[in-house]
A and B are shown apart, each in its own frame.
Chain A
């Protein structure tokens, strides 16, 4: 599982905090508003009931009173119902018979004992308040007041408060996101600087003054960058020194051997054979030194520039006395790539040399979007060797069969190094129809 990022966590914490806070505030305000409103409503209802009770009381005082007429004379509006319990019978204004069962037994007992009372009930699933007032004799007058409107008001209030709580939580998350963006800006700067260094710009440094709190980080980063630059410079100088030390004697050997070679006809057969050997070995030694130095430098960043890769591939073929029409371009491939010209040229050249040496010569040099391929129709590369073939000093079996074209064993390692410097890689597969297909990918070439 992917770990949750710092920003997400901080934002979530902000959101949660804001949510809890706003929920508490909402809850408290909701409760207090509800209580106030209910109390107010209750007071009004009780007052109205008492008023009506006195009217009813007076109306039923006489003998054989018309109870229904008395009840009908009350001005109750639409949200109040009246009930009268008189001489063990229930009276109401309408034929609404269910109302008598609506009076809770507790309230009935209470009023029977001569006390007035009020209770909240649910009537037809809606909240209501029932107020009971004992009248003279055994009669009890009840009024049921619908609280539906109050309920609707409270519901709206709850909805509004919930919406506010959610909005506050979202605002909290936004604040968290914003705050962390600022807090993490120095880290982003470090990441960018690191990317710059990885991309080859060794002069990238952080300014410790811009973020005093993170000065130790900046200082450590800069120190690391300094050391890296020093180390690379040391390596570069070492490679340069080694090249100088190895190449100078090789130059003497080369020039001296050419002097000997010119006088071959003055030499006897044995001396001539020795000169041939020396000349061949000088050539091989020279190739080895060049490849070793190249390999030592493959980890240096690629120096990208616009390159016409098709022209480059054709040139590489011609330089090896191969027909330029070996080069095929996959339709839809741009010809101008942003790559390190010298290194792509060398990588492609090495692949072609490899095909010549071990695969009987290339049969196609293919340029596709972001990759180069060299096909040969030789014996191919065994599956088990495909991973190791790009290692240093690994040679194919054919190299022993052909003495003159002996490679240094570094060619493919250099190819892999150049591909890696471009952020790509090198691989070999089977060519359909037999043989090997070597491919290097060069991401970011802008194709």
Chain B
């Protein structure tokens, strides 16, 4: 049974969502503040984290940042805010996915399943794929690691999955929708999720983030990985 940590300050949402998630087969641990959430995650190590952005005290963005420092657990933002600024800021803070309230419980469960499916990553090898080299960038799906100039680069599970997906098609352009489908399991989703993850990855694997060499944008089409 999969464990979910739910950080939500609205009592009614917390209660109802926890019940509904348990109906879907998850063990839900629900807390009301970011501080409690950080403590709970250190103690219980949930498989996935659901977090609201507007929290009393420490806000959701800060909570995501702090949690990301030592944990690559998939984090899904469940927020009533659907403004581009909020979505991008949450993703840039380190969230893996973003859903806008009210989200259907079945859809939320489907997203969590997708996250778990792609949970095999950094440190958890993907079978059946070999080392891919792009200049000084090395993607090692077997070992679950990324190296830049021989040095291991710390990436989250989602970033790693994204990189592996691109590395599987060297030099080929993958559209944002293809990436959303393959990495996030969204049939039709918000392409900003891909853009922000690409931006996060570039900060880790590109020497010059402004003019990326490996992970390049093909205007109007998508992204590709090249030496």
> Judging by beta carbons under 8 Å apart, are A252 and B83 in contact?
no
Q: How large is the interface on B (under 10, 10 to 19, 20 to 34, 35 or more residues)?
A: 20 to 34
> Judging by beta carbons under 8 Å apart, are B80 and A306 in contact?
no
> Judging by beta carbons under 8 Å apart, are B101 and A250 in contact?
yes
Per-residue CB proximity of B101-142 to A under 8 Å, as 1/0?
Answer: 111111000000000000000000000000000000000000
Q: Which residue of A lies closest to B52 (CB)?
A: A248
Q: Which residue of B lies closest to A282 (CB)?
A: B102
Q: Is B13 an interface residue (CB 8 A)?
A: yes
Output the least CB separation between B217 and chain A (Å).
Answer: 10
Q: Is A247 an interface residue (CB 8 A)?
A: yes
Q: Is B177 an interface residue (CB 8 A)?
A: yes
How far does the alpha carbon of A243 sit from the alpha carbon of B106 in the complex, in Å?
22
Question: Which residues of the partner chain A approach B102 to less than 8 Å between Cβ atoms?
Answer: 247, 250-251, 253-254, 282, 286
> Judging by beta carbons under 8 Å apart, are B220 and A251 in contact?
no
Q: Is B62 an interface residue (CB 8 A)?
A: no
Q: SS class of chain A's interface: helix, strand, loop or mixed?
A: helix
Kindly name the residue among A250, A255, A342 whose own CB sees the greatest number of chain B CB atoms within 10 A.
A255
Question: Which residues of the partner chain A approach B86 to less than 8 Å between Cβ atoms?
Answer: 240
Q: Is B20 an interface residue (CB 8 A)?
A: yes
> Judging by beta carbons under 8 Å apart, are B219 and A251 in contact?
no
Q: Is A35 an interface residue (CB 8 A)?
A: no
Q: Which residue of A lies closest to B176 (CB)?
A: A341
Q: Is B10 an interface residue (CB 8 A)?
A: yes
How far does the alpha carbon of A65 sit from the alpha carbon of B28 in the complex, in Å?
151
> Judging by beta carbons under 8 Å apart, are B17 and A247 in contact?
no
How far does the alpha carbon of A342 sit from the alpha carbon of B100 in the complex, in Å?
15
Question: Which residues of the partner chain B approach A259 to less than 8 Å between Cβ atoms?
Answer: 16, 19-20, 23
> Judging by beta carbons under 8 Å apart, are A319 and B188 in contact?
yes
Question: Which residues of the partner chain A approach B12 to less than 8 Å between Cβ atoms?
Answer: 249, 252
Question: Which residues of the partner chain B approach A252 to less than 8 Å between Cβ atoms?
Answer: 10, 12-13, 16
Name the one of B23, B188, B220, B221 contacting A258, with C-beta atoms under 8 angstroms. Answer: B23
Mark the stretch among A85-93, A96-104, A175-183, A307-315 that contacts chain B: A307-315
Question: Which residues of the partner chain A approach B17 to less than 8 Å between Cβ atoms?
Answer: 251, 255
Question: Which residues of the partner chain B approach A364 to less than 8 Å between Cβ atoms?
Answer: none
> Judging by beta carbons under 8 Å apart, are B103 and A240 in contact?
no
Name the one of A247, A256, A258, A303 contacting B101, with C-beta atoms under 8 angstroms. Answer: A247
Per-residue CB proximity of A339-368 to B under 8 Å, as 1/0?
Answer: 001100000000000000000000000000
Kindly name the residue among A248, A282, A307 whose own CB sees the greatest number of chain B CB atoms within 10 A.
A248
> Judging by beta carbons under 8 Å apart, are A251 and B103 in contact?
yes
How far does the alpha carbon of A311 sit from the alpha carbon of B220 in the complex, in Å?
10
Q: Is A164 an interface residue (CB 8 A)?
A: no
Q: Is B187 an interface residue (CB 8 A)?
A: yes
Given A252-B13, A259-B23, A311-B177, CB of A341 within 8 Å of CB of B83 = no
Q: Is B32 an interface residue (CB 8 A)?
A: no
> Judging by beta carbons under 8 Å apart, are B105 and A240 in contact?
no
Per-residue CB proximity of B176-201 to A under 8 Å, as 1/0?
Answer: 01000000000110110000000000
Q: Is B175 an interface residue (CB 8 A)?
A: yes
Per-residue CB proximity of B1-29 to A under 8 Å, as 1/0?
Answer: 00000000010110011011001000000
Question: Which residues of the partner chain A approach B16 to less than 8 Å between Cβ atoms?
Answer: 251-252, 255-256, 259
Q: Is A155 an interface residue (CB 8 A)?
A: no
How far does the alpha carbon of A308 sit from the alpha carbon of B221 in the complex, in Å?
7
Question: Which residues of the partner chain B approach A244 to less than 8 Å between Cβ atoms?
Answer: 54, 80-81
Per-residue CB proximity of A255-283 to B under 8 Å, as 1/0?
Answer: 11011001000000000000000000010
> Judging by beta carbons under 8 Å apart, are A315 and B220 in contact?
no
Q: Is A336 an interface residue (CB 8 A)?
A: yes
> Judging by beta carbons under 8 Å apart, are B220 and A307 in contact?
yes
Q: Is A236 an interface residue (CB 8 A)?
A: yes
Output the least CB separation between B141 and chain A (Å).
Answer: 28
> What is B's interface to A at a CB cutoff of 8 Å?
10, 12-13, 16-17, 19-20, 23, 54, 78, 80-84, 86, 100-106, 175, 177, 187-188, 190-191, 219-221
- 13 further A-B pairs in the complex, CB-CB below 8 A; given A240-B81, A247-B102: A236-B83, A247-B100, A248-B80, A250-B102, A251-B78, A251-B103, A252-B12, A253-B102, A254-B104, A256-B20, A258-B105, A311-B177, A315-B177
30 contacts between A and B (CB under 8 A): A243-B80, A243-B81, A243-B82, A247-B80, A247-B101, A247-B102, A248-B13, A248-B80, A248-B101, A250-B101, A251-B17, A251-B78, A251-B80, A252-B13, A254-B104, A255-B13, A255-B17, A255-B20, A258-B23, A258-B104, A259-B16, A259-B20, A286-B102, A306-B219, A308-B220, A311-B175, A315-B177, A319-B188, A341-B191, A342-B190
> What is A's interface to B at a CB cutoff of 8 Å?
236, 240, 243-244, 247-256, 258-259, 262, 282, 286, 293, 303, 306-308, 311, 315, 318-319, 336, 341-342
